[in-house]
């Protein structure tokens, strides 16, 4: 697709920067750390020990999220049915060439990734994995409708850079595939994304940062379709939205991205949203920021 530039992050793990999207694949604080904190840990994978689970990984990228997932499940001997969606083969090609990336995981992860790269498929007694190449708005229709996912990872570029995978129409398709007690997990704390997921009937939680402040107030979002409070064990990784975050959903930042026919360009999607924000009577995001002492760098709208 586009030119990719290697980036060394602060935890010693490598990532890439997309020249096309003008954005890094991961936070500079650490690609591996971000994967663990924002995806693997909130998944609470121990509840699937010795059991089977279905996972949908949207925007597979370099494969950090799936690799970390596979690494954990190999250790606890769980059975996995994985579907991954990705438009560009270059990031996976990079991962398979990067010895420091491969050393992060059990050797079997490399075997699985090599098979996905060559054949788009891997299967053994524990794992069945499919990688579907192309625009996620199209390939999501190839995922069998009979499968409901225990975990859905949504890890595309930020909504302002790649709104195509954050629209109400696409997220509606995604949430239809979530199991009744499944988790949809994303690094995004965008009010537009959270409000859209809430309007689609999911209960929204915030992934707690290591240290909460006005710059880093959330690591992302966990959305659960049907919350059974009796079955949901105390979770120290995510919690209900704070009052500040709830009020964020009442601002113009919460106006959704729209893509009615699921084929609009980035520019068209953003332009439509800007027009809708212009004529909206909702509270301005600036007033919300001023009230809570936020900076523009502390959130993505």
Distance between CA atoms of 137 and 59, rounded to whole angstroms? 11
pLDDT reported for residue 209: 78
Mean pLDDT, the chain, rounded, equals 92
Residues 172-187 have pLDDT tens digits of: 999 999 999 999 999 9
Q: What mean pLDDT is predicted for residues 262-278? A: 97
- Identify whether 61 is part of a domain: yes
Residue 139 lies in a domain: yes
Q: How far out from the chain centre does Cα 134 lie?
A: 17
Residue 164 lies in a domain: yes
- Kindly state whether residue 22 falls inside one of the protein's structural domains: no
pLDDT digits (tens, 9 = 90+) for 80-122: 999 999 999 999 999 999 999 999 999 999 999 999 999 999 9
Predicted pLDDT of residue 231? 55
Question: Strand 14-18 relative to strand 4-8: parallel, antiparallel, unpaired?
Answer: antiparallel
Percent of the chain topping pLDDT 90: 86
Q: Is residue 1 part of a domain?
A: no
Residue 237 has a pLDDT of: 84
Q: 19 lies in a domain?
A: no
Judge whether residue 228 has pLDDT over 90: no
53 alpha carbon, distance to own chain's centre: 18
Q: How many separate domains does the chain show?
A: 1
In a domain, 16, yes or no: no
The 10s digit of each residue's pLDDT in 20-63 is: 999 999 999 899 999 999 999 999 999 999 999 999 999 999 99
- Name which residue leads in pLDDT, 297 or 216: 216
The confidence band for 297, taking pLDDT boundaries of 50, 70 and 90, is low
Distance CA 224, CA 238 (A): 12
pLDDT over threshold 60, residue 233: no
Which pLDDT does position 80 carry in this prediction?
98
Rg (CA), the chain: 19
Segments forming the whole domain that contains residue 125: 31-298
Least confident among 39-53, 207-221, 247-261: 207-221
pLDDT of amino acid 300 = 43
Per-residue model confidence as pLDDT tens digits over 65-79: 999 999 999 999 999
Q: Does residue 4 lie in a domain region?
A: no
- Tens of pLDDT along 158-174? 999 999 999 999 999 99
pLDDT at 227: 66
CATH code at position 232: 3.40.50.150
**Start-to-end CA span in the chain (Å):** 26
């Amino acid at each position: 697709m586009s030119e990719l530039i290697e980036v060394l992050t602060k935890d010693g793990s490598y990532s890439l920067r997309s020249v096309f999207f003008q954005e890094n694949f991961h936070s500079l604080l650490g690609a591996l750390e971000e994967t663990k904190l924002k995806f693997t840990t909130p998944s609470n994978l121990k509840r699937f020990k010795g059991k089977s689970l279905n996972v949908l990984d949207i925007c597979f990228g370099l494969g950090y999220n799936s690799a970390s997932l596979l690494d954990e499940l190999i250790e606890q001997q769980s059975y996995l049915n994985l579907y991954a969606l990705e438009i560009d083969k270059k990031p996976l090609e990079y991962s398979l060439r990067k010895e420091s990336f491969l050393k992060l995981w059990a050797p079997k992860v490399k075997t699985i990734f090599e098979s996905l790269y060559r054949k788009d498929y891997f299967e053994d007694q524990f794992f069945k994995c499919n990688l579907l190449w192309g625009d996620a708005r199209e390939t999501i229709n190839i995922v069998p409708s009979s499968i409901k996912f225990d975990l859905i990872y949504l890890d595309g570029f930020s909504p302002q850079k790649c709104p195509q995978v954050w629209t109400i129409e696409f997220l509606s398709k995604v949430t239809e595939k979530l199991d009744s007690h499944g988790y949809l997990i994303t690094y995004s704390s965008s009010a537009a994304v959270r409000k859209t997921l809430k309007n689609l009937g999911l209960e929204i939680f915030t992934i707690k940062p290591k240290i909460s402040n006005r710059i880093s107030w959330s690591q992302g979002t966990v959305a659960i379709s049907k919350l059974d409070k009796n079955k949901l064990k105390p979770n120290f990784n995510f919690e209900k939205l704070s009052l500040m975050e709830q009020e964020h959903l009442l601002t113009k930042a919460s106006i959704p991205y729209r893509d009615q026919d699921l084929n609009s360009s980035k520019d068209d999607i953003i332009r439509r949203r800007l027009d809708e924000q212009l004529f909206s009577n909702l509270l301005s995001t600036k007033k919300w920021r001023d009230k809570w002492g936020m900076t523009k760098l502390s959130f993505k709208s």
